[in-house]
Amino acid sequence: MSARAQDELIVADQKGQQKALLQAAGVDKGLPYRIRWVEFEAAAPLLQALGARAVDTGIAGDGPFIFAWGAGLPIKAAWLIPPRGGGKATAVIAPEGSSITNAAQLSGKRIATGRGSIGHLLLLRLLATGAIPAPAPKIVFLLPAQAKAALDTQRVEAWSTWEPYVSLAVVSGHGHVVVDAAGLMPNNSFFVANTEALVSKRVLLADFYRRITAAYAWGTQHQAEYARILARQTGIPEDVAVSVAEKLIATPAPVTPDVIRDEATVADAYRSAGFLTRSGAFDEAFEQNLTSP
C-alpha cells in the first residue's frame, strides 16, 4: 500500500448522515489524514463494498452486518452505535389512508424490504414473536428507492424500513408507522471495517471512531443545527431532517462481550429463517480491542 493510501480513510455513509454530523460538530478539522466519503443507498451495497476493500469503514445496522458476515465477507464490527431513537428508527410503514394500523394486520400482505436489512430483521422478529400471525406476509426484496416506488404504486402494501426513510414518509404525510422495532431486537448499529483496514489503517480507524463519538455527543446537544446541515447537504426537507436528528441520540462506544451476546440473538433469527449458515466463533465477527496495537 502506498504512503498516500495509508494517509487516506475511505468512509462509506448512508444518506450523508454521518458526514453531516461530523462536519456539523467540527470534529473533522485538523485531521492528520484525509477522509474520502462514499455514499450508499443502503447497508447491503455498502457492506459489499467493504468486503471488496473498496472502502475502509462504514455504518450499518446489526442485521445487515451479521447477514453480510454470515455470507463470508471479510469484515468486522469495530465500533458500536447503540439504539438510536429507542428502536423507533426501524419501522414498518403503510401509505397514509391504508387500513393497516397494527402488526397483526400485516398477515398475508405484500411487504417490501431489503434482503438482510434491519427491515428484514424486524419482519423476522415480528413473525417469530407471533405479532404477525399466519398466513405469513409475502416479503418482496427491494432497495429503498424501488421499495418506495412499489409502495407509492400499491404493488406492496407496506414497507419495513429505517431512517431517514421512516421520517420521509411520516413527516410528509405520505405514510404512517404500523409497528416499530422497539423491544423486538437489539437495534444496534456499528461502524464496520474490512479486516485489511483493521491492520493497515488501525490508528486512523481508532482516531476516526473517537471523532465520531465526539460528534454524536455534540449532536445530542445541538439537534437543530445538525438538522439544518443534514438538510442542506443531503437535500431532504428540513422538517424531515429535524425528525432524523431527534432519533440521533446515542453514545458510541467500543464493542464489548455484552454487546456480542445481545447480537447473537440477531444471528439466531437469521439462522432460524435459513439465511445464515456460516460456522465458526461468532465473536470473530467483532473487533473488541481497536485501541490496542
Task: Please report the pLDDT score of residue 177 as a whole number.
Answer: 98
Give which of 186, 167, 177 is closest to 125, Cα–Cα: 186
Give which of 254, 263, 214, 285 is closest to 18, Cα–Cα: 214
Taking only the tens of pLDDT, the chain with its 293 residues reads 444 566 999 999 998 889 999 999 999 999 999 999 999 989 999 999 999 999 999 999 999 999 999 999 999 999 999 987 778 999 999 999 999 999 999 999 999 999 999 999 999 999 999 999 999 999 999 999 999 999 999 999 999 999 999 999 999 999 999 999 999 999 999 999 999 999 999 999 999 999 999 999 999 999 999 899 889 988 999 999 999 888 877 899 999 999 999 999 999 999 999 988 887 789 999 999 887 54
What's this model's pTM, rounded to 2 decimal places? 0.91
The answer, yes or no, to whether the previous bond of 254 is cis (omega within 30 of 0) is no
Q: Which residues contact 256 (CB under 8 A, 6 or more apart)?
A: 80, 288
CATH 3.40.190.10 range(s) for the chain read 3-82+188-285, 86-180
Asked if 170 contacts 54 with a C-beta cutoff of 8 angstroms, the reply is no
Instruction: Give the Å distances, CA to CA, from 193 to 55, 59, 258.
Output: 8, 9, 20
Cα diameter, the chain: 59
Give which of 264, 102, 106 is closest to 176, Cα–Cα: 102
- Span 117-159, pLDDT tens digits: 999 999 999 999 999 999 999 999 999 999 999 999 999 999 9
Task: Please report the pLDDT score of residue 18 as a whole number.
Answer: 93
Q: Are strands 90-95 and 158-162 parallel, antiparallel or unpaired?
A: antiparallel
Give which of 214, 207, 217, 244 is closest to 229, Cα–Cα: 244
Task: Please report the pLDDT score of residue 293 as a whole number.
Answer: 44
Distance of CA 272 to the CA centre of its chain: 22
Domain 3-82+188-285: what homologous superfamily? Periplasmic binding protein-like II (3.40.190.10)
Dig out the grid coordinates for 166 from the structure. Answer: 421512516
Task: Please report the pLDDT score of residue 2 as a whole number.
Answer: 46
Q: What is the 3-state secondary structure (H, E, C) of the chain?
A: CCHHHHCEEEEEEECCHHHHHHHHHCCCCCCCCEEEEEEECCHHHHHHHHHCCCCCEEEEEHHHHHHHHHCCCCEEEEEEECCHHHHCCEEEEEECCCCCCCHHHHCCCEEEECCCCHHHHHHHHHHHCCCCCCCCCEEEECCHHHHHHHHHCCCCCEEEEECCHHHHHHHCCCEEEEEECCCCCCCCEEEEEEHHHHHHCHHHHHHHHHHHHHHHHHHHHCHHHHHHHHHHHHCCCHHHHHHHHHCCCCCCECCCHHHHHHHHHHHHHHHHCCCCCCCCCHHHHECCCCCCC
Instruction: Give the Å distances, CA to CA, from 196 to 37, 282, 287.
Output: 18, 19, 12
Q: What is the CATH number of domain 86-180?
A: 3.40.190.10
Q: Cα–Cα distance between 109 and 82 in angstroms, integer?
A: 31
